Amino acid sequence: MWRSQTKIRRKSKHSLFNLYPKTGNNITFDVTKNQILKKLLFIFCSLLIVSCKNESSKKTVKTLTGTTLKLNYAKGFSVEDFKTHKIINIEKPWPEAEKNYRFALLKPGYDAEFWSLEKSRFDGTIELPIKKIVVTSTTHLPALEQLNETETLVGFPGTDYISSETFRNRVDNQKIRELGKNEGINTEVLLELNPDVVVGFGIDGNNRSLETIKKSGIPVMFNGDWVEESPLAKAEWIKFFGALFNKEKAADSIFSHIENNYLEAKKLAANIKNKPTVLSGAMHGDVWYLPNGTSTEAQLFEDAGLDYLWKDSKGTGSLKLNFESVFVKAKNADIWLNPSNYTSLQTLKNGSEQHSMFSAFKNKNVFTVTNTTGQSGGVMYFELGLTRPDLVLKDLVKIGHPELLPNHHLFFFKKLP
């Protein structure tokens, strides 16, 4: 017996039998054979696992190859378009936001089983096409109207502030439900509407109503257009809505038209040497609030060929100054723009007798956007101005240099009567 086993080992000197050590006289051929089979099975399984991993890796790489939406100015969001879905990343929906928000837009025919596992990686998943939407700021409305998606809007907080005739008709016909206030949305009505998505607006992210909506399973996307640092960057957020409604080409075309109009108006005023000086804001109590020099308002003044007297100031938010410092610097300013919410020279004087001490007041050269309103009193500038900075800029050029745009009629601004 020993000799026969010895012969077997000698004949198999370079075979798989040699993977196992000699163990003594009691070992049998059957035991050795079982060990070999186990080894072969282990090798086969290992190869199978490696093969599966390679296939999975190839599939993942293929899935992660998408097209990035082109943005020229906006920095607060990005969009990647894949074969079965899109990913929207919102980076800074309010100034002190501490995280980015990611949303998956699932195209028709998506793999439901796959996304049921993947959705934990996102702040929300939304099935396309969107048929019902709720937005929470009037600045969101022009994008829906320009993209011909007015019929998708089913609810809005503060419908009286809506200026658009198209949306006003839908409100009057009860096709858009009143949702209360943005800070305290009527969640009962909203949940009854059951929209596909809610586009929220947040100053600090602390909105209990929106948190309740999210917990109910309705995705809430924060729109950060107002945080952008230039007029064209804010306007470019129409591409955000273009991605939501699969209308990227239409959104790009609309924005290109706005951009070209803006740059043409800016070019007209670029070589102006005699720039009229500008005062802005008004007194509230003992404080005068003005836009700081790095604000989009100040950039509009600059692009319109106006000399804003606080153009060199920096910081976030509005400047808060006392009357004396404002008067010393701007008592002889040529133009006074946007004196808060005052609607006439008399109400401006009634607000503070000190307002009447400025040359711009005495010369009746005070302009405001407050008096251009919709049917229910909503200020059009607060709704459309962010989306149409080209019209805002043309107004400012017309006010400061009427000879440059002889055929332009003021759209947002009016002189205080």
Q: What is the pLDDT of residues 200-259, one digit of tens each?
A: 987 777 788 888 999 999 999 999 999 999 999 999 999 999 999 999 999 999 999 999
Which structural domain range is residue 43 located in? 2-63
Pairing outcome for strands 414-415 and 366-368: antiparallel
pLDDT score of 317: 77
**How does 313-349 read in b/e, with b if 16+ C-beta sit within 10 Å?**
beeeebbebeeeebeeebeebbbbbbbbebeebeebe
Token pair for residue 290? Answer: 């003005």
Q: What is the pLDDT of residues 289-300, one digit of tens each?
A: 999 999 999 999
Residue 127, domain member (yes or no):
yes
Do 296 and 409 lie in a common domain?
yes
Do 383 and 367 lie in a common domain?
yes
Residue 250, domain member (yes or no):
no
Q: What is the mean pLDDT of each run of 10 residues along the chain (417 residues)?
A: 37 36 42 55 52 44 71 96 94 86 93 85 94 96 97 96 94 96 88 96 80 92 93 97 97 98 97 93 92 94 97 86 95 96 94 95 96 90 96 98 96 96
- Do 192 and 352 touch, CB atoms closer than 8 A? no
Give the chain's domain count: 3
Note the pTM of the prediction, 2 decimals. 0.82
- Do 66 and 80 touch, CB atoms closer than 8 A? yes
Do 140 and 26 lie in a common domain?
no
Domain's final residue, options 13, 28, 63: 63
- Do 195 and 126 touch, CB atoms closer than 8 A? no
